[in-house]
Amino acid sequence: MESTGHELPTWAPLPARADEVFDELAARVCAELRVQRALVVLVSKSGQVYPGAHGLPEPWETRRSMPLSHSMSLRVVSTGRPLVLRDAREDPELRDSPGVVDMQIVAYAAMPLADVHGRPIGVLSVSDDQPRDWSPQELAALHGLAAEAARRLQFQALELAEREAVATAARAAVAASRTADAARAAYVEAEAAADRARIAARLSQELQPAETLLEVLHGIDRFVRSPLGATVALLGLAETGSSDLRVWAAEAGSPPTTRVATGLHLTDAHPMATAVRERRPVPVGSRAAGEAEFPALARFPVGAESALAVPIVLGQHTAAAGLLVGWGHTRELDAPLSAVVTDLARHVGHALDRVLLRAQRLRLAATSPPVPVSA
């Protein structure tokens, strides 16, 4: 079998399904040549498909594809020349092929179909289950119909390729847009993270020299006014073994004070008590919603429209603590804001550790008897 020198394409230019145009052409071929079966066959490395068929038995009529092991078209595609057989059972290469044995192909004639580059990629074939001497008129008619099929194939293959190119470009545009959106989101997140880091560094520096609770409150007050723009900050502390939550306030227009507000307990339905008790951030979107969800908020008001309470973790002290930041207007309590307030609480916790331990040390020194000095 002489080769054309053209390598088979990886995939057929049309899919393995019935095509109305080629099915009509196959039916016309059967009528004009008075044959049992006519096929428009496309051959590739992956097998052969039948976009056009008339008289094709099942399951091939439904599948519209066969492996190359069943292909009688491969010789035509490989040589680029027509194949005309009076009786395929007498051909040494084809007589044992599945097409002859399983599909009972006897008389067979096939004309090559070329792509837009002139390379044979398929055939228009006719077959019967009885030997047949093909007349020159029949072969000429088959040749003309094959030329028509090739033109239709080229047009549809180009149209399909063009649609696929457009779809590929659209998919690439969508992917590029998503990548750009992701990059923008990553940039925004990186900027936000950098802002949070700068804020945390500033707060840490503010609180580093604090030695008293009043100095801690001063640091919190300056921080929550700018950059957070809050109007109130509450610091709650419950000593070890006590359910009483002592609260200190830093409010806009008033200097921070160590005046203790009493009457709040760790078991109360209050945002700060809940944050300390459950060790989680507790947002209050509005005063009305907050008082509905946390009844103790009504008798122990925060003095803000929106608020966010977070727990304070003390590493060196066994007391429990919490921080509540409030705004005089309704604002979105989103994840970045929660992260900033949580960072604030972390640094406040470090400062509280130092203050509480220092206070314990001073009390211990004041109550301890003097250490005798040996002579």
> φ and ψ at 144, to 5 degrees?
-65, -40
Position 123 scores a pLDDT of 92
Query: What tokens appear for 266 in the block?
Result: 């760790």
Query: What residues contact residue 97 under an 8 Å CB cut-off, 6+ apart?
Result: 70, 72
130-189 confidence digits (pLDDT tens) = 999 999 999 999 999 999 988 988 888 777 777 777 878 788 888 888 888 877 877 776
pTM: predicted TM-score of the whole model, two decimal places: 0.51
What gap in Å lies between CA 67 and CA 144, rounded to an integer? 28
Position 257 scores a pLDDT of 64
Position 23 scores a pLDDT of 93
Query: What tokens appear for 176 in the block?
Result: 């590029």
- Crossing angle of helices 213-225 and 335-367, in 10° steps, is 170
User: Beta strand pairing status for 282-284 and 47-54?
Assistant: unpaired
Query: What residues contact residue 107 under an 8 Å CB cut-off, 6+ apart?
Result: 35, 85, 86, 87, 88, 127, 128, 129, 130, 131, 132, 134
What gap in Å lies between CA 355 and CA 165, rounded to an integer? 69
Q: Which residues of the chain have pLDDT under 70?
A: 1-6, 10, 189, 192-193, 195-196, 252-253, 256-262, 316-317, 368-375
| DSSP 8-state symbol, 370 | P
